[in-house]
Amino acid sequence: MIRVASVGSQGHVERTSCLLCGRATFDPGRGEGVWAHGVAGGRQVLICPDCQRTRPRWDEQLDRCRTCGATRLSLVLGDLVCRACGAAAPAEGGGPPEQG
């Protein structure tokens, strides 16, 4: 007989919310749009559809691809990967930690 370990949690699940308004990603929308993925300060962040509509400069806080300038970045194993052009670069924060 195979013993199946019962896992209470799904592991390290980060609770993610909108970078700008703090609204939780699992908040059910009414078909209002798509959450924008991006990276800010070396962290994967999300921008809710509301903020994309109501804040014309919502993407100013996002890191941009150094190759094409797009904000559609993903963090993959510590690298910033651009979903627009496919360029990959080490994420910020690789230097010495800030004193602070």
User: Which residues of the chain form contacts with Zn ion (CB under 5 A)?
Assistant: 18, 20-21, 23, 48, 51, 65, 67-68, 70, 82, 84-85, 87
Which secondary-structure segment (H or E) carries 33? none
Minimum separation from the CB atom of position 86 to Zn ion (A): 7
Minimum separation from the CB atom of position 89 to Zn ion (A): 9
Q: Which residues, at least 6 apart from 98, have a Cβ–Cβ distance to it below 8 Å? A: none
Distance CA 94, CA 78 (A): 9
Nearer to Zn ion, 14 or 98 (CB): 14
Nearer to Zn ion, 68 or 78 (CB): 68
Minimum separation from the CB atom of position 52 to Zn ion (A): 8
Nearer to Zn ion, 20 or 75 (CB): 20
Distance CA 18, CA 47 (A): 5
Local structure of residue 18 (DSSP, 8 states): B
